[in-house]
Structure 1
Amino acid sequence: MSQENNYHALSDDKIGKNYSEENLKSFPIQQNSTPAELVDALNLVFGKQTYGRAVHAKGIVMRGRFLPSQQASTLSKAPHFQDIAVPITVRFSDFAGILTISDTDPLSSPRGLALKFHLPDGTETDLITHSFNGFPVATIDEFKELLIALGSSGPSVAAPTPADIYLAAHPIAKSFLESQLPPPVSYATLTYYAVNSFKFTNAQGETSFGRYQIVPQAGNQFLSEEEIARASPNYLADEIRQRVADSPIRFNFRVQLPEPGDEIDNPSIAWPDTRKTIDIGVIEITEAVHDSATVERDLLFLPSRLPAGIEPADPMVYRSPAYIISYQRRHQ
């Protein structure tokens, strides 16, 4: 069994604390950058984290369930795509690797939504999404280069800064940084997009490719400028605790399918909104955990922790070892 499939059956604690740099070398990492170098680059931008994550440090953990649709099993034989509801752990987050960042700070976008599906056989599979359709770069090496350029720039650095130079040559990354949405009314009023493409295989052996979309049943809603000025630094966690106490929060879970010519292995290129989508179920969030700070510190979401029936289809999936490094550093 490969390392990639082996950690599908292991607990977060087992993976996070027991995997060494030597273990990580055997993961199917498709880049020159090491996992530690990628985390170091994130620390260069946001500062070294000793308690929280290197990125998406501030968040809140919730629980619920995933109710698959009848169409889900036609797409994949994955356990959570069959005709049974499965429990989920959910973590909403702000983007920056800064635990104290205000929810209205521009560096809080894109927001994150990470899902851990607790499968019937006792194993888990994870999904990581954010509130922007696309990624700033195509590969892990390019992501490290972007982070180093950003972290090496600032008010005291003469123009053109490394960031100026990088972004001038990389218009997609520039658009990503400059096109973020305003602060939302709630974590529950944003659409989230998977960073990656996946290959799906159903019980009949039929395969297809797709990208996840998680669409709020409450619709996309954002604060006005006046509301932003009045909002508290932690309004998102406060709001969603109250929202879920009143009634369950629901998202429609979809897979967008490509057409010929669409780039499957390049996460920086979004597919047009006109592409067909399949509704594969509903994500229902029913409660906020009581001690979110403790729970989320011990959670480890891995992009390539996937069950049979779902496979990576682009190179950014293989950033999982960097998540393990970040986990280990916040538990030193």
Structure 2
Amino acid sequence: MSSLENPVSIETAKGIIGQFKGTQAGGAPPGFRPVHAKGILLTGTFTPTRIASTLTQAPHFSLPSVGITARFSGVTGIPTTPDTDPLGLPGGFAIRFHLPEHDNSPEQEHQPHTDIISLGSPLFPTRTPEEFLRFLQATAASPVGAPSPTPLEEFLKTHPVAKRFIESQNQFARGVATRTYWAQHAFRLINAKGVSKFVRYQLRPVGGNEFLGPEQVIGKGPNYLYDELPVWVAEGRVEFRLVAQIAAEDDKTDDITVLWPDSREVVELGTVKLDTILPEEEQDDEQNKIVFDPMPRVVGIEPSADPILPVRSAAYLMSGRERRVARVELKHRLCAR
């Protein structure tokens, strides 16, 4: 059953999307993502390591290389949120791996692909999608200046992971390509012999993490995270190592709030190299079209039983459909003037 065929996933996803849209300052504008509205698309190449094909038979881990499309983004649903605003933390990084065609038939509408969606934090605030919806509702009901204890304060009393998540969002990176990103869900990698391992992905910048102190953020421009990106791309410095932390037998794979110990084995799966920023005239159209999906859609990689995963997938897909419809309606209104 797909994410958009499960009625429970659909209803919870609708609630989460609606909550995101309703809690943005001024309301998330139509035609934009309700979260991660501000972003930029790039293209490049993924080159796997030799060990990757021993862990999974997924084609992008066994071919010499595959093309990729990637998007760096802020977190809010307001595309004009300044990069100096803590509400934009921790930032997102999504990658689409373009896979070989199954056949050459003209009936095949879309090139096969699979995605990785990651955030600039290993933490996620809740264990279940229903808790996450309550977290959003409590946040919306606790504006600045509200009398204490606010609904959010009450929620955090019984959800220490959510409290830790909020308190940890205080690191401003030098740029979008200077911080580690975590794909927080666990996934099962299955090799050609049927041997499987649960892993969690991380995307680590080849040049290392670079953060700014509070005094350095003051005076930075509203788009400072992206300002140096063209120079970095031209110099070949937008490069990440995709690594996998491998779970032990007793590690939880269905709870996104439980981090695995740092002592777990980490293997390098390949290199993500981004060498082209989509031209400005293509950015808006392509950002509207592309819908990244955290659910793996390829042989050799399977989802874990994490309850957040199918609802998150449904929310992304539903939001993408709504965004496309809103953009079409906007174009029609402009043409009718």
Report the CA distance between 1:130 and its aligned residue.
Answer: 0.5
2:316 to 294, 302, 323: 323
2:53 to 70, 73, 82: 73
Which residue matches 2:214? 225
The code of the aligned residue for 1:37 comes to: G
1:33 and 1:268, CA in 2 relative to 1: closer, same or farther beyond 3 A? farther
Mapped contact 2:47–2:64 kept (Cα < 8 A): yes
Report the CA distance between 1:123 and its aligned residue.
Answer: 0.2
Mapped contact 1:70–1:83 kept (Cα < 8 A): no
Identity %: 37
Mapped contact 1:94–1:112 kept (Cα < 8 A): yes
2:74 to 94, 119, 124: 94
Mapped contact 2:238–2:274 kept (Cα < 8 A): yes
Which residue matches 2:247? 258
1:158 and 1:181, CA in 2 relative to 1: closer, same or farther beyond 3 A? closer
Report the structure number with the largest CA radius of gyration. Answer: 2
The code of the aligned residue for 1:317 comes to: L
Report the CA distance between 1:181 and its aligned residue.
Answer: 4.0
Report the CA distance between 1:330 and its aligned residue.
Answer: 2.1
Cα distance per residue 1:169-192 (max 9 Å; x no partner): 101001101112421111111001
1:53 to 30, 33, 38: 33
Report the CA distance between 1:321 and its aligned residue.
Answer: 1.4
Cα distance per residue 1:20-60 (max 9 Å; x no partner): xxxx2x24x76584321110121232223302111111111
Which residue matches 2:155? 166
CA distance in 1, matches of 2:187, 2:234: 34
| Runs of at least 5 residues in structure 1 that lack an aligned partner in the other structure | 5-23
Mapped contact 2:90–2:171 kept (Cα < 8 A): no
Report the CA distance between 1:225 and its aligned residue.
Answer: 2.8
Which residue matches 2:22? 44
SS of 2:30's partner is coil
CA distance in 2, matches of 1:303, 1:181: 25
Of 47-56 and 89-98, deviating more is: 47-56
2:142 to 150, 153, 156: 153
1:287 and 1:145, CA in 2 relative to 1: closer, same or farther beyond 3 A? same
Which residue matches 1:130? 119
Which residue matches 1:12? none
Mapped contact 2:10–2:314 kept (Cα < 8 A): no
Which residue matches 1:104? 84
Structure-2-length-normalised TM-score:
0.88
Mapped contact 1:183–1:222 kept (Cα < 8 A): yes
Mapped contact 2:28–2:78 kept (Cα < 8 A): no
SS of 2:185's partner is coil
Aligned-pair RMSD on alpha carbons?
Answer: 1.7
SS of 1:195's partner is strand
Mapped contact 1:73–1:202 kept (Cα < 8 A): yes
SS of 2:201's partner is strand
CA distance in 1, matches of 2:148, 2:59: 53
1:30 and 1:73, CA in 2 relative to 1: closer, same or farther beyond 3 A? farther
Report the CA distance between 1:224 and its aligned residue.
Answer: 2.7
Structure-1-length-normalised TM-score:
0.89
1:206 and 1:260, CA in 2 relative to 1: closer, same or farther beyond 3 A? closer
- Asked if 1:307 is matched to 2:269, the reply is no
Report the CA distance between 1:273 and its aligned residue.
Answer: 1.6
- Asked if 1:204 is matched to 2:193, the reply is yes
Count of aligned pairs between the two proteins: 310
